[in-house]
């Protein structure tokens, strides 16, 4: 038994010695060595070289800080002359500090065609150099109002423009002779609505104003002229347009173009726009319409139709000044004696037309329903929030004091429109018609209540 075990162990030992002399193929050895070397090198490099750090991108663009849109806009109007008079403009800021006013609508370009601040766009420089009024420190003044938490709306008078119609007569409304510049009863001349070259000029001013600090752009006198010798007038650009002689269509074409251009964020990309209160870095926009656009079903011979303006602006502001309505309107006799009823009827009808799914007015975004006469068209729908009410605070044919001004504001609320802008060409406002600061008729958004 001992002999058997010894032989067996000796055989096993011999086998182990034999195996130890068996060679490993060179290719396998090289693979193992290379793999080990690569791992060793990688570990060494990782330990020796720090990870690359991306360079910090510094945004060197000028910064423009805004005030977000209030849940209710309660604005007073300020002329460019007042903006350039520190003592007077401070009085208006005091009105805002002492009352519910939270916004200021300030002239960027007024009836003269000149502008109220030094532009960066060279094509607008002459309109500043020849300006009758304005503020050398407009950027600082807007920032000062922002510090008071005021929302600033820049008003741009568009087609009423005696300055540019003289400098560029080929764009102007003409007399029937086709060469003489037409003027209204006040001696003011107009640019033809269909003069597309001028559209880009307005866009350039809008960009300058928003980059300076204005929070919203308001467009006034977006219409064909009136109040002059309308028998001796011609519109060369309108007559040569895609819609010859059609004032409504040519005005809507301007609205559409303006809206598309001001929705392009790249136009404002030279500045960083902060605290806009919205996802985009583009301005809010509003348009002023003649008051009777809320109740009339024609274009009032000036091209304005509420349904053809509403799709292209964030807000539509009818100028429903009671003094501008005809005598016996609604059977009321002197409209100045019934400011509540005039404003309530005008704005209530405006809200209903915004909400309606159909209209008798044609438009680019309207589709005819059937073949009935008169024609009926489908249209986009909006809420009353799309509207703002222009309030009269000036004596014209009547006496407008605390009761009359407050009656108009209340009429607007009762009609379902909770934002307003007060017009006083004197810039002297009836403080007694205004409530205390931070008074709101609509609740704060849920995130502000938390």
Q: What is the pLDDT of residues 104-117, one digit of tens each?
A: 999 999 999 999 99
pLDDT at position 25 is 41
Task: Look at strands 315-319 and 367-368 and give their pairing.
Answer: unpaired
Residues of the chain with pLDDT under 50: 1-42, 44
pLDDT at position 231 is 97
The answer to whether the beta carbons of residues 289 and 319 sit under 8 Å apart is yes
- The C-alpha torsion from 14 through 16 and 22 to 23, rounded to 10°, is -140
Burial string for 299-331 (b: 16+ CB within 10 Å, else e) reads bbebbbbbbbbbbbbbbbbbbbbbbbbeeebee
Residues 6 or more apart whose CB falls under 8 angstroms from that of 278 comprise 68, 69, 284
pLDDT at position 325 is 97
Average predicted confidence (pLDDT) for the chain = 90
DSSP state, 316?
A: E
Q: Please calculate the CA angle 357-361-364 and round it to the nearest 5 degrees.
A: 85
Alpha-carbon distances of 28 from 21, 42, 150, rounded to whole Å: 17, 21, 79
pLDDT at position 15 is 32
Question: Which class in CATH covers the domain with range 63-437?
Answer: alpha beta
pLDDT at position 450 is 60
Place of tokens 């100028």: 319
pLDDT at position 201 is 98
pLDDT at position 447 is 65
pLDDT at position 55 is 78
Give the residue from 369, 413, 405, 366 showing the smallest Cα distance to 388: 413
pTM here?
0.87
Please say whether the dihedral angle defined by the alpha carbons of residues 96, 97, 100 and 104, taken in this order, is positive or negative. positive
């Amino acid at each position: 038994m001992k002999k058997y075990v010894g032989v067996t162990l000796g055989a096993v030992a011999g086998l182990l010695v034999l195996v130890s002399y068996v060679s490993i193929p060179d290719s396998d050895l090289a693979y193992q060595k290379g793999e080990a070397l690569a791992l060793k090198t990688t570990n060494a490099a990782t330990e020796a070289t720090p990870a690359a750090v991306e360079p910090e991108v510094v945004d060197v663009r000028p910064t423009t800080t805004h005030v977000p849109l209030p849940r209710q806009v309660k604005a007073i109007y300020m002329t460019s002359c007042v903006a350039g008079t520190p003592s007077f403009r401070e009085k208006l800021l005091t009105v805002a500090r002492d009352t519910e006013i939270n916004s200021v609508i300030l002239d960027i370009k007024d009836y003269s065609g000149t502008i109220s601040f030094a532009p960066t766009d060279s094509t607008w420089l002459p309109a500043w150099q020849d300006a009758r009024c304005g503020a050398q420190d407009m950027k600082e003044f807007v920032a000062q109002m922002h510090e008071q938490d005021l929302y600033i709306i820049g008003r741009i008078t568009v087609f009423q423009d005696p300055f540019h119609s003289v400098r560029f007569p080929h764009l102007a409304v003409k007399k029937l002779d086709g060469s003489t510049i037409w003027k209204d009863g006040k001696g003011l001349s107009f640019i033809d609505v269909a003069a597309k070259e001028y559209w880009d000029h307005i866009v350039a001013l809008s960009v300058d104003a928003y980059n300076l600090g204005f929070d919203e752009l308001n467009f006034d006198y977006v219409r064909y002229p009136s109040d002059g010798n309308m028998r001796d007038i011609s519109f060369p650009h309108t007559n040569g347009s895609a819609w010859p002689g059609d004032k409504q269509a040519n005005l809507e074409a301007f609205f559409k173009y303006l809206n598309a251009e001001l929705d392009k964020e790249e136009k404002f990309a030279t500045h960083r726009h902060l605290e806009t209160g919205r996802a985009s870095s583009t301005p809010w926009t509003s348009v002023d319409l003649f008051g009777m656009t809320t109740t009339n079903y024609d274009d009032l011979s000036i091209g304005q139709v509420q349904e053809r303006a509403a799709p292209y602006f964030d807000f539509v502001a009818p100028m429903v000044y009671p003094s501008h309505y005809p005598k016996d309107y609604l059977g009321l006799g002197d409209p100045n004696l019934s400011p509540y009823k005039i404003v309530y009827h005008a704005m209530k009808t405006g809200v209903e037309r915004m909400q309606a799914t159909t209209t008798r007015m044609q438009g680019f975004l309207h589709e005819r329903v059937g073949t009935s006469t008169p024609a009926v068209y489908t249209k986009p729908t909006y809420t009353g929030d799309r509207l703002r009410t222009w309030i009269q605070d000036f004596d014209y044919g009547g006496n407008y004091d605390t009761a009359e001004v407050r009656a108009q504001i209340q009429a607007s609320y009762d009609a379902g429109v909770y934002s307003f802008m007060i017009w006083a060409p004197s810039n002297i406002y009836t403080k007694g018609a205004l409530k205390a600061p931070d008074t709101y008729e609509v609740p704060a958004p849920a995130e502000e209540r938390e």
